[in-house]
Amino acid sequence: GRMKKTLLFLMPLAVAAAGLVFLLWRPAPPVQVGIVAWMASGAVVGSSEINASDLFLEEHPHSRIRVQPVDDEWQPQRTVPVIQEAMNDGVRFFISTHPSRCAVVTLPLFANPQALLINTASTSPVLSARDDWLLRIIPDAVQEQRAIARYVNGMSSGGRILVLQDTSNPPYTDPAFVVFSAELASQGKWEMVHRKLPIADFKPDDYRSLMSEPYDALYILAGTFQTAIGNLAQLFHYLHPEQPILLTPWARSPAILETAGEAIDRIILPSVYPSRHEDPRIDDYFRRFQARFGYAPHAMTIGVRQALELLDQAFARGHDTPDAVKADLLSAPEHQTSLGPISFDRYGDVVGDYHFIRDLRQELQE
């Protein structure tokens, strides 16, 4: 009977031990991540950010991330209310792809540790060097425009350059122009003709006479993946078939390059990300995306993927409050992602190198 008694005594211990193991090995609870984007299918960018997150979660089935679409339509008057609504529903982590005009109004929301946001697309210098809970994985407009101006200065002996500045996103294009023009002037090579216009409403006839003047280069200072950038490039190319056309990194979209027609052979595209033909990781990602969703992604899906991986890694390390994730991301000198490393400074900003992609016909080929 002693054996039986011992077993009866051990049974509750075994049950308790099993319960403890269950408690310790209980899967960590899921974490909601809001993706702030323009969801309309008619948008140039459309739902590709959500598709980027679908692909990530399919490839990481054990991730704690649960994606919550937050549609601000890239309209600053919507941005704060829709993010606030998500916060009220308990979302504490966000990834944003909206332009600077939307990002600048979110600053008060991320001034304290109630929530953390990783921004993939807003270069406004207003966001730079702030100790807040808004981290940014792309360099700011100051770095970006200096790099572009240096490229233009090194490109040739100079001449006349036409700079067409979009008016739809002043928190980006205004400081960008100031930096670009100052850096360009430092070499004294170029005479600049500067015009502001709402690029989305571009009508060729309104600009034909301006564009018919003699120029040695065109710079379209515009972003937010507006298809009309391609139309501007096409008209300039028709009038100046040999001259180079520079875009911003925020024009790396198949739709814009297809709209540019024959001008594509003269377009130079600055980018924080290398060409898919220089970086097999980006090529492989674009191929997987195309195979899964049936269309080629624009460049911003790269940043969305990197941001998801950064959050996923922090959550997997057991950090799931905005404060803990911020401390985790800012403490390591470099984070690896499947699409390249990210190094934050103490403010959660990054320094970047620029690639100038010239063979865009090849870039568009799958």
202 vs 52 pLDDT, higher one:
52
Lowest-confidence region among 40-44, 70-74, 81-85, 266-270 = 40-44
pTM for the whole structure: 0.86
Look up residue 40 and give its two tokens: 């309309």
Best CA proximity match to 306, nearest among 76, 149, 137? 137
pLDDT tens string 227-273:
889 889 999 999 999 999 999 988 877 777 888 889 999 999 999 99
Per DSSP, 342 falls in state B
pLDDT at 365 over 70: no
For the record, the structure tokens of 356 come out as 């100038």
User: What is the spatial distance between Cα 110 and Cα 343, in angstroms, rounded to a whole number?
Assistant: 20
Q: Is the pLDDT of residue 83 over 70?
A: yes
Q: Which two tokens stand for residue 309?
A: 């991986």
Judged against a pLDDT cut of 60, whether residue 43 lies above it is answered with no
Q: For the residues 329-336, what does the mean pLDDT come to? A: 96
pLDDT in tens, 15-39: 666 666 666 667 789 999 999 998 8
% of residues, the chain, pLDDT over 90? 69
In whole numbers, what is the pLDDT of the chain averaged over residues?
90
Asked if 309 and 295 count as a contact pair (C-beta separation under 8 A), the reply is no
What gap in Å lies between CA 220 and CA 161, rounded to an integer? 11
Give the pLDDT confidence of 346-364 residue by residue, as tens digits: 999 999 889 999 988 777 6
Residue 203, pLDDT above cutoff 90 = no
Q: What is the pLDDT of residue 47?
A: 77
Whole-angstrom distance, CA of residue 286 vs CA of residue 296: 7
Helix axes 228-239, 204-212, angle to 10 degrees: 40
48, pLDDT greater than 90? no
Cβ contact 173:140 at 8 Å: no
pLDDT of 255: 77
Going edge to edge, which strands form the sheet with 190-197? 190-197, 159-166, 217-221, 245-246, 267-271, 355-357
Q: Which is more confident, 163 or 15? A: 163
pLDDT in tens, 268-295: 999 999 989 899 999 999 999 999 998 8
Identify the band that residue 197 occupies on the pLDDT scale cut at 50, 70 and 90.
Answer: very high
If one counts every other C-beta atom within 10 angstroms of the C-beta of residue 74, the result is 23
Q: Is the pLDDT of residue 42 over 60?
A: no
Give the mean model confidence (pLDDT) for residues 132-147.
95
In the sheet that holds 116-119, the strands lie side by side as 65-71, 31-37, 93-96, 116-119, 134-136
Q: Give the pLDDT confidence of 99-135 residue by residue, as tens digits.
A: 898 999 999 999 999 999 999 999 999 999 999 999 9
